[in-house]
């Protein structure tokens, strides 16, 4: 028995349209989730800054907020600018871990929480913001 299947151009375009629609829908859902997580993180960071007696709006300025986090963790500001020299190297990665660990310690958390802050900031900043963690000056932690 010889069976031949024919595929028309209309079938192919319908399948392509359906596939593109699914991908666009998934992309929109992904974008919405990421946007919500970003907004939650920004609000939580604002609250964390307020807990540390810093104006909340300072978390909105890109480079400035990193410098403020360094200060809150007790790290000298010049480390940030020294790392600009090594922008292609591992320096900024080390500074990111170091600053988050010191910030976590300033709020009474451990180094492990600081490492988690690098990877899961959308979870850790809300914990610092709305949890019972209180900011202590870095000199008081030692």
User: 32-49 pLDDT, tens per residue?
Assistant: 999 999 999 999 999 999
pTM for the complete prediction? 0.78
Specify if 100 maps to a domain: yes
Domain count of the fold of the chain: 1
Neighbours of 86 (CB within 10 A): 13
Cα gap 127→134, rounded to integer Å = 11
Specify if 2 maps to a domain: no
pLDDT tens, residue by residue, 91-106: 788 888 999 999 999 9
Residue 51 token pair: 């807990």
Specify if 19 maps to a domain: no
Structural domain of 80: 37-141
């Amino acid at each position: 028995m010889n069976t031949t299947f024919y595929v028309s151009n209309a079938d192919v375009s319908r399948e392509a349209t359906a596939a593109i629609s699914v991908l666009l829908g998934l992309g929109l859902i992904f974008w919405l989730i990421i946007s919500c997580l970003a907004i939650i993180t920004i609000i939580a960071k604002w609250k964390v800054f307020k807990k540390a007696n810093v104006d909340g709006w300072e978390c909105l300025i890109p480079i400035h907020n990193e410098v403020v986090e360094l200060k809150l963790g007790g790290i000298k500001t010049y480390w940030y600018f020294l790392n600009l020299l090594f922008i292609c190297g591992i320096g900024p990665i080390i500074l990111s871990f170091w600053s988050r660990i010191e910030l976590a310690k300033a709020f009474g958390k451990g180094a492990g929480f600081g490492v988690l802050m690098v990877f899961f900031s959308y979870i850790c900043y809300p914990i610092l913001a709305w949890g019972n963690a209180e900011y202590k000056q870095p000199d008081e932690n030692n």
